[in-house]
Amino acid sequence: MNEQQRKEMSQIIQGDAADRKSGQDKPLKEKTSEDFAKYFETTYEPPNLNKARKRGRDEINVHYNFQIPEDIKNIGNGKKFLIRTYGCQMNEHDTEVMAGILTEMGYESTSDTKEADIILLNTCAIRENAENKVFGEIGHLKPLKLEKPDLILGVCGCMSQEESVVNRIMQKHQHVDLIFGTHNIHRLPQLIKESMFSKEANVVEVWSKEGDIIENLPKVRHGKIKAWVNIMYGCDKFCTYCIVPMTRGKERSRRPKDIIQEVRHLAAQGYKEITLLGQNVNAYGKDFGDITYGLGDLMNDIHKIDIPRVRFTTSHPRDFDDRLIEVLAQGGNLLDHIHLPVQSGSSEVLKRMNRKYTRESYLELVSKIRKAMPNATLTTDIIVGFPNETEEQFEETLSLVEEVGFESAYTFIYSPREGTPAARKKDDVPMEVKKQRLYRLNDLVNKQSAEAMKAYKDKVVKVLVEGESKNNPDVLAGYTERNKLVNFKGPKSSIGQIVDVKITEAKTWSLDGIMVENTVEVNHNG
């Protein structure tokens, strides 16, 4: 950033750890424009991946006193917001929190960009194409911003945590008003206010070091049937290809009582399914200094709550312990679908990825799971074309996919991410070869998926009905316990219920069926 650009940013906040602490323990103090000018002259730094990589040993504080300052509470009255979400479930859930905060500020939601007074792009940095999509959208929104100067255009989420992205936005996309990261979502009210009163400049607030845990944030959930529940934030695994530990900070777990209270509340509101969220949920609780309590214990406690379906994502094979397997084997509302990203079938590649397990230990874990849960469905994530992956190593991935019998997989071509160790490696695998590997892998996965679907023909499955099918309003759609999409004929009154559906046709990615009469009732623990 040159001096001129610095000058153009007249109001910039840099939140360092000390600033953050004082800000969160008391209601956040209003800063005057002089304060901002001072900050801008002396302390602005872009987000810093080096800083983000360092894990502090400080205790993580949990804050229960979130509130929107009185003078900001009604700032959105008569105004509308739109949030575009990219990336994973974590981002989708963050969007629900931001929607909750904006709603409490008086804003209403809209899906029409032209109607919006505030547009937020909640971004993902996982692969280059994810970032390209966002830059495309920032460009598309420029004419609208020029036409409507009062529009607040904000960029948040994982891309905002990247130094290069923030610099690029400030240099090339000056129509963006607001940039904030993943650790300071609770500061949205103050940031919007600053943005409103500084129309000529960007407001940037990105914390490179991870934040504390803020409980009691308002949420506007996407639906009334399924809900996300964060159980932990961040990731400490540092897989060599992955940007997430830098964009989401260190692992920090929510206290069990807060999670259990949220799940109970969702059950009381009539939600039928929850998905517990974390980048590596198997590390849940490892950061507690005072209690020994892990994911197995949490699942065991949630098992007792009267909510029909409980899922969790994402599992890391490394921390998947026997206690969890034992608890999951109880069944009931704990569904026997496990998403267990393997990334590669070659121990050598896994080592270079810093995954800290081998092909053999992964297979051992799978057989333990299968022994305890014979009907479990396994799905996975796989990266092809990791730097210098050989044909033989790739074939080991194919053979592992067959051996485990994954019923579906998210497959990706490796994408170098700035600031990660793998991105510094020379890579002798041409893109054309990587693409061919992806096609070959997808062919195998599709074949296995179709095969697994065929087994459902003429069977009766339990479907949580989510609504009308996307392509045909006369047909309903929902998911089985093992997460298979089912389109079927049945009464609209079954929406939001778990019903029995007889499968009449199996396709590669979905099943067709007919509802079995008299099953429109909630089927607890079944």
Binding residues for [4Fe-4S] cluster: 88, 124, 158, 235, 239, 242
For residues 478 and 498, what is the distance between their CA atoms, to the nearest angstrom? 9
The single residue among 232, 239, 366, 409 that binds ligand SF4, judged by CB under 6 A, is 239
Fill in the per-residue mask, 288 to 327: x = in contact with ligand SF4 (CB under 6 A), - = not in contact.
Answer: ----------------------------x-----------
The interface partner of residue 91, options being ligand SAH, ligand F3S, ligand SF4, none and the CB cut-off 5 to 8 Å by kind, is ligand F3S
The interface partner of residue 414, options being ligand SAH, ligand F3S, ligand SF4, none and the CB cut-off 5 to 8 Å by kind, is ligand SAH
Stretch that binds ligand SF4, among 175-183, 189-197, 240-248, 453-461 (CB under 6 A): 240-248
Q: Tell me the site size for ligand F3S, rule CB under 6 A.
A: 13
Q: For residue 162, which phi and psi values (nearest 5 degrees)?
A: -100, 125
Q: For residue 84, which phi and psi values (nearest 5 degrees)?
A: -100, 130
Stretch that binds ligand SF4, among 56-64, 233-241, 264-272, 478-486 (CB under 6 A): 233-241
The interface partner of residue 245, options being ligand F3S, ligand SAH, ligand SF4, none and the CB cut-off 5 to 8 Å by kind, is ligand SF4
Considering the rule CB under 6 A, would residue 338 count as an interface residue with ligand F3S? Answer: no
Task: Give the residues lining the site for ligand SAH (CB under 6 A).
Answer: 126-127, 241-242, 244, 279-280, 314, 316, 341, 343, 381, 383, 412, 414-415, 417
Check the CA dihedral 324-327-333-336 and report its sign.
positive
Q: Is the peptide bond before 182 cis (omega within 30 degrees of 0)?
A: no
Considering the rule CB under 6 A, would residue 238 count as an interface residue with ligand SF4? Answer: yes
For residues 391 and 201, what is the distance between their CA atoms, to the nearest angstrom? 51
Please identify which residue in the block is written with the tokens 């051996």: 403
The interface partner of residue 238, options being ligand F3S, ligand SAH, ligand SF4, none and the CB cut-off 5 to 8 Å by kind, is ligand SF4
- Token pair in block for residue 501: 């559906």
For residues 481 and 485, what is the distance between their CA atoms, to the nearest angstrom? 10
Could you tell me whether strands 62-63 and 80-85 are parallel, antiparallel, or unpaired per DSSP bridges? unpaired
Stretch that binds ligand F3S, among 123-131, 196-204, 383-391, 466-474 (CB under 6 A): 123-131
Burial of 467 (0-12, 13-18, 19+ CB in 10 A): middle
Closest CA to 195 of 91, 302, 120, 284: 120
Considering the rule CB under 6 A, would residue 124 count as an interface residue with ligand F3S? Answer: yes
Considering the rule CB under 6 A, would residue 151 count as an interface residue with ligand SF4? Answer: no
DSSP 353-390: TT----HHHHHHHHHHHHHH-TT-EEEEEEEE--TT--
For residues 231 and 127, what is the distance between their CA atoms, to the nearest angstrom? 25
Considering the rule CB under 6 A, would residue 91 count as an interface residue with ligand F3S? Answer: yes
| Residues at the contact surface with ligand F3S, assessed by CB under 6 A | 87-88, 90-91, 124-126, 157-158, 243-244, 247-248
